[in-house]
Amino acid sequence: MRKFLTLIFIIILLVLAFLWIKSCYQTPEKKTITSGEQASTSTKKDEDIQRYNLGVRKSQSGNYGPCDTLDVKEYVINNYPSGTYLVDFDQTLTFNVPKSAVVYYKDGSSQYIFALIARSKPGKRYIEPKNIVGYDQSFIDLDSTNLGTAFFYLTLFKCEGNQLSFIWEAPVPSHGGLNRMYLEKWAYLGTPYVKIDFHYARGIGHIDYNYFLVDGIEYPPHLLMTYKGINFKRTAANINSDKYPDYYEFVYFDTGKKISLADSIAFTWNPKDSLYVNTRNKHQTRPY
């Protein structure tokens, strides 16, 4: 009888031990996450992440001051809808730290900042800034909806009283593949313009969106698109000697084995219709 009770006691101990071990390794209960809680669409999560990253950058920066890049980032967080970001340039080397897409410009005693800002398409998945920058990301136009659709804007800020003030913004007609942004001068009139360079992997080339400050820096710029690839090319030119840049469109014969230049066609800007017009065929026009 004593042996029987001992056996029962051992069995009970083994059962309790098994139940305890099972409870320790039990799979956590699966929670349902609504679309509003997803990191890619949650307003609060997106803002929290941006503010946290900004705080880290501020704590690590030894040269933080008014109207600098961190101020621009904070301005975007405070004044734009969620899913909006100050983007970075493409990395020139694999391990270097990418630089924010800002260009500083001094005009007399006034300090201006050109910034490239990307907004997510309203009501859709928020973009990830890393998915719209770089050579491989120029393919995003083929599948932009799955990764979110980015809308770029060249934005001008002015530093007044150590604070940023918004001046204007101009849309950039591309969704991905950003490379760099430069401030240059037009050789013909010395007009300053901002060149935004995008990779174009499908054509093994690049597309440049050139924003000419034809009426002064505080007025919306004039957009001219130029590009160059293996069998396409467009270059800025002065054709009719007005304040607006014109361009030459080059035509190539491409047989698959050989590429040869066939012709170049001049387009001039028509301010009345806000269109570029083919000088040989007035019915062929381009918006930029």
What local confidence, expressed as pLDDT, does residue 277 receive? Answer: 98
Q: Is the pLDDT of residue 13 over 70?
A: no
8 A C-beta contact, residue 132 and residue 178? yes
Tokens 């047989």 sit on residue: 255
pLDDT digits (tens, 9 = 90+) for 63-76: 777 899 999 999 99
Query: Can you give the C-alpha Rg of the chain in angstroms?
Result: 28
Q: What are the distances in angstroms from CA 201 to CA 78, 142, 206, 209, 258? A: 35, 12, 8, 16, 20
Say whether 283 sits in a helix, a strand or coil: coil
Q: Which two tokens stand for residue 68?
A: 């600098």
Percentage of the chain exceeding pLDDT 70: 81
**Residue 77 CA from chain centroid, whole number:** 15
pTM: 0.81
Q: What are phi and psi of 147, to 5 degrees?
A: -105, 10
Query: What pLDDT is attached to residue 95?
Result: 59
Cα–Cα distance for residue pair 137/174, rounded to 1 Å: 11
Per-residue model confidence as pLDDT tens digits over 17-65: 555 555 444 433 333 334 444 555 667 788 888 888 877 777 777 677 7
Q: How far apart are CA 155 and CA 171, in angstroms?
A: 9
pLDDT tens-digit map of 130-165: 889 988 887 776 665 677 889 999 999 999 988 999
Confidence of residue 189 (pLDDT cuts 50, 70, 90): very high
Q: What residue spans define the domains of the chain?
A: 40-176
pLDDT over 80 (residue 112): yes
pLDDT of residue 46: 80
pLDDT value for 120 = 93
Alpha carbon separation from 287 to 24, 119, 136, 233, 269 (Å, rounded)? 66, 23, 27, 17, 9
150: which 2 tokens? 């980015």
CA distance 158 to 21: 65
